[in-house]
Amino acid sequence: EVDGLQFAVADLELAEYGRRQIRLAEHEMPGLMAIRAEYAATRPLAGARVAGSLHMTVQTAVLIETLAALGAEVRWVSCNIFSTQDEAAAAVVVGPDGTPDKPTGSAVFAWKGETLEEYWWCTRRLFDFGDGQGPDLLVDDGGDATLLVHLGAEYETAGRVPEPAAGDHEEHRLILRTLAESMAEDDRRFTRIAAGIRGVSEETTNGVARLYKLAREGRLLFPAINVNDSVTKSKFDNKYGIRHSLLDGLNRATDVMLGGKLAVVCGYGDVGKGAAEALRGQGARVAVTEVDPINALQAAMSGFPVVRLEEVVATADVFVTATGGTGAVRADHLAAMKHNAIVGNVGHFDTEIDLAGLAAVPGVVKTEIKPQVHEWMFPDGHAVLVLSEGRLFNLGNATGHPSFVMSASFANQVLAQIELYTRRDQYTEDVHRLPKHLDEKVARLHLDALDVHLTELTAEQAEYLGVPVEGPYKADHYRY
Ligand code: NAI
């Protein structure tokens, strides 16, 4: 803590390196910068305490500083133990006008390579704005911060730890331990914190799934905005973002030649589509696994063979999971792969590849090739290479999606935060999406940078289509 600013980052001296990257990122994030300019005078988040749990990258630094420019007091953690860019974290703490000796930015608790205990220690810091104050708003990615508040409040009400659901794993058990500790310290803390939260805006598919589950079960304690399903988020970040950062992660991790290799993408949703396209672009032969007949048919009609993993497990060179589910690649699959097959996950949680099962194989030996790249050698002498310990390798082995696409995602985040803060009474304790005119606005903010010349409807054409000349142009059920 320096002059009341709390933080826990790797090294504040990295701030200048972070600041230079932030400066370049700002130029590539026209949506965020336009929103900054639009609201500079009115500062709609003035007085808002915003707590964010989202990969602490350079792009996120631009998001944080946008929220701060709109008046918010911000506290931030990463939503993944490997995804922090230490220079970005340092730059946010130091702030645009501060120095490492006199940091004047925002409170960040994040560093690359946290342990799970440290991760949850950081996440708890989100809820401590001083003087017993919790946040007014949450920005979440994957729902860990939201889950912590809910489990905590339920624990305080019911007097017991909620039962872990099927499929819950190590992280859940750690949350529960954290809860128990916090209960010992300060009775009914999360109940109070939850009551003060005006809402959460959630970034990703998995987090949104958690929110809908909480809402279905009548457990959601505050309104939520599903940012992921803004068209300008999931149809861009998930797809075009991964098309870029998947290769970045693979290359930095292994630098293996992809042309001619056989790659398998598990899950052909938005992320899987971008992953498959990226690998095909490198000249890899790409096969897809799917459980949903619609997505499977999409893959087939895009020219990707749709297979069961068993059919390719012994011949494929690269395996990428993007299912958002659990157990897509089992330990017996890993054992059946060819020597030095590369296995990585880009789904949100580390449940997609059964690494616990791999670790339990008798005689298996794990060797660190370099941070976030591990060789797992089987007793018969063949090995598989696992990236980022089964966590999002586009963030663990590289730096995540590039600025331009994150500008669209984060513009949605900022608009959602403004909605929740200034129009709380319009939102029930349910999961909402931003209205389509805001989705179109986010897209519009990114057109000039790409020299897009939009055609304008004439009044007659608009009337024929039954839409306003200025939009929105599509019904809510339109799928893009
Ligand atoms: P999605 O729901 O559009 O796609 C997932 C697909 O996987 C679905 O089509 C589903 O039918 C299929 N699937 C489910 N279980 C399967 C299994 N066992 N085998 C084969 N296919 C299976 O979800 P989306 O948006 O593509 O997200 C996928 C994951 O990626 C989520 O965890 C999400 O949070 C995460 N994500 C990661 C990003 C990154 O930067 N790495 C960016 C955005 C999202």
Q: Is the CB of 270 under 6 A from ligand 1?
A: yes
Reading across the β-sheet that carries 318-321, which strands appear in turn? 285-289, 262-266, 318-321, 341-345, 383-387, 373-377, 365-370
- Average confidence (pLDDT) over 104-114: 98
Side-chain-side CA neighbours of 31 within 13 Å: the count stands at: 28
In the predicted model, is pLDDT for residue 138 greater than 90? Answer: yes
Contact 5, 12 (CB under 8 A): no
In the predicted model, is pLDDT for residue 167 greater than 60? Answer: no
Nearest ligand 1 atom to the CA of 245 is 40
Nearest ligand 1 atom to the CA of 142 is 34
- Closest by CA to 446, choosing from 409, 473, 414, is 409
Q: Do 12-232+400-439 and 257-348+351-390 agree at the fold level?
A: yes
Which pair of tokens denotes residue 66? 């946008």
| CATH superfamily of the 257-348+351-390 domain | NAD(P)-binding Rossmann-like Domain (3.40.50.720)
* Domain segments of the chain as ranges: 12-232+400-439, 257-348+351-390
Q: Is the CB of 438 under 6 A from ligand 1?
A: no
pLDDT tens per residue across span 177-197:
777 777 766 667 899 999 999
Rounded to 10 deg, the angle between the 403-422 and 30-39 helix axes is 30
pTM of the predicted protein model = 0.97
Q: What pLDDT is stored for residue 272 in this prediction?
A: 98
Query: Which residues are within 8 A (CB) of 346 and not within 5 positions of it... i.e. 6 or more apart?
Result: 242, 246, 249, 271, 275, 320, 321, 322, 392, 393, 394
pLDDT tens per residue across span 267-322:
999 999 999 999 999 999 999 999 999 999 999 999 999 999 999 999 999 999 99
Q: What pLDDT is stored for residue 187 in this prediction?
A: 65
* Ligand 1 pocket mutation, candidates 82, 236, 271, criterion most atoms within 8 A of CB: 271
Provide the 8-state DSSP code for 229: T
Ranges 105-109, 169-173, 204-208: which has the least confidence? 169-173
Q: Which amino acid is it at 358?
A: L
Which residue has its alpha carbon closest to ligand 1 atom 8?
A: 269
Q: What pLDDT is stored for residue 161 in this prediction?
A: 73
What does the mean pLDDT of the chain come to? 95
How far away, in angstroms, is 360 Cα from ligand 1 center?
A: 26
Contact 96, 11 (CB under 8 A): no
Q: What pLDDT is stored for residue 72 in this prediction?
A: 98
Which residue has its alpha carbon closest to ligand 1 atom 44?
A: 238
How far away, in angstroms, is 277 Cα from ligand 1 center?
A: 15
Q: What pLDDT is stored for residue 70 in this prediction?
A: 98
CB atoms within 10 A of CB 115: 10
Q: Is the CB of 85 under 6 A from ligand 1?
A: no
Per-residue pLDDT band for 18 (boundaries 50, 70, 90) equals very high
Q: Which residues of 145-184 are buried (b: 16+ CB within 10 A; e: fewer)?
A: bbbbbbbbbbbbeeeebbeeeeeeeebbebbbebbeebbe
Q: ipTM of this model?
A: 0.99
From residue 255, alpha-carbon distances to 3, 260, 376 in Å are 45, 15, 18
In the predicted model, is pLDDT for residue 253 greater than 90? Answer: yes
Q: Is the CB of 238 under 6 A from ligand 1?
A: yes
Q: What pLDDT is stored for residue 148 in this prediction?
A: 92
- Average confidence (pLDDT) over 316-336: 97
- Average confidence (pLDDT) over 153-158: 86
- Average confidence (pLDDT) over 335-362: 97
In the predicted model, is pLDDT for residue 154 greater than 70? Answer: yes
Nearest ligand 1 atom to the CA of 234 is 25
Which pair of tokens denotes residue 279? 């690998």
pLDDT tens per residue across span 451-463:
999 999 999 999 9
- Average confidence (pLDDT) over 438-448: 98
In the predicted model, is pLDDT for residue 217 greater than 70? Answer: yes
| CATH superfamily of the 12-232+400-439 domain | Adenosylhomocysteinase-like (3.40.50.1480)
